[in-house]
Structure 1
């Protein structure tokens, strides 16, 4: 099957023609191209008609314009790629057929043009190839028309290539209607006009780029504002959970003290203490606090982290100093990663390290580090956190939970 596109072996981009491949090579320096049977994608926007050659282009177009409907015209525009580049003015792919049915390309020669006009253009500083091309393709019979054609086509890649036409084709023009001085002045005027047009286009493009920068800046500010609002909500949720936990811990301690007091009176043979009048029921929780909500992503792990830390403290309730040292060590690990996420030494922990085992491993801290994104390797020798998995917001949440466990005297009592 004939190739339908050319694929760059370096970046895998697909191109329709050899000319596109050459332009791609000049822009990127890539030189490894091969034929592909997969056609170049052609998604046409149903709203504005803009063609998109990749899914990424269509997604960007949708983001910028809001247009979501695209028509896939890939099959309609797919053509076999032509690897030969035809010279300007040459015969087409079919060529001319002779009587015996074989294609015979015609002989190509330089077209004949008006010698006087050619000499005047060369006297104005134009090359012979550029002057000949302008006189032939413009069909102008005066200097003004030839110069106008040169100005309009000075960006063509083949502007300085000598044109070639089939033998027998004629060309040329009549005598010039302008003097050399008038022709030079006219050429200067046309160049100035082209320069002004180019400057206006540059200004227009700069305005468009400035509008795009402003739009992107506003989007980034809005995203930053939303992130800050979410962070404030998350902190409020965590503070509320801490207060509730402290309240439950105080109540449990109070009940324990009353039980101990009653036990001492029983051992001393004293009658039970008169029951205290029933206290008023706690104030109901305001309705707005009862409203359910969808927790933020970091808050969904905050409870798991709090439960893990509470389990560490309850499993070693008689070793407060070791628990405190384990919490401080975990806080140090996470703080190093947040401050220097690109440093691999802060994101990799040897599990067999005696100090780590004494301070964290034997206390159950490995589970907490796994909640923060750390993973064991296949050999079970290291605990590491991949750079792309570093979540600063999650690590800050973990640090807040550890700090709360350190400063809250009632943490882990329940």
Structure 2
């Protein structure tokens, strides 16, 4: 699937692949989700295959990033922050491994494989489509300072395993889900530094006021796609007849200039008078995020000092008698670091780590209990959004019909008066 932002050079192309093949998977029935404006399609897979995401991004921007979702759960995050606007060309949006919290509370990064739909899951047409689905959300900063936090999103560390719950309802449109995504639990545990790094990435704010583009792939069998008669919208063997770039529905914004940054923008708006006071960083939220403390070195003289103007140094006469030396007391040992202090500091560190670990385990327990309620709330919100969209569409049609009928009535009444 391919998208482009009107009036800019920003565009992205994202496809699904399977391990062992360099060709993109064919895509069927590309469409736009009316709720979140995601670009969706169906791809054909087989049980046991290892799907992965492959894509490219072209964008003149300072910051960009992406999130990868497996069966409705965010399992990979990446944000790139620059110092100034750059023309990013063909930046990779590839994801072949995803983060999981195992049943024994380990954090791993593993490949996913196509697995049968769990027995405890109940397919229901019109509900949230979150199983048998892989999604990539792409973020681009289109205006300086625009950013947002993830909301109503379940992340990998909040739920154990695949995240299924007994009696969970999975929605669908056109074709009922046949698969879910499994993973290899025997994968090696990540190091603590990698775990913290991944968690910090997940908690960061995303560039832009909202996702720039959402690519959503529904994984189904080839037989189901053929039986439904879905049209092919991307053929990897004959790209000439494929669908072109789809235009994104975004609010138009002024273009960003290459080399521009929030610091340069602020300095160009006003030129302050010279001051002898030392420079200090600005306190605004934007400057605090993007500006770094700059230290201006003192300029050295460009021309050497004239030796003629240097006064003659007069040496003092040396006394033939020896002078008495002043003796200073030896430095005190008080205040020196000791081994016992190191032992105490190490003990405090271990205690702090133990407290954090206990808090994390408690958080995991609470999150696992909270997760089903969050899923229900998310499903209700999406259903309400779909119902509202449908009601709005029907209201527009009814209003249009009312205006047409009123115009017709007025025309007929005027003709009757003329007669």
- Which has the larger Rg? 1
- TM-score, normalised with respect to structure 1: 0.21
Q: Of the two structures, which has the highest relative contact order with CA contacts closer than 8 Å and spacing of 6 or more? A: 2
Report the structure, 1 or 2, having the larger strand content.
2
Report the structure, 1 or 2, having the larger helix content.
1
- TM-score, normalised with respect to structure 2: 0.21
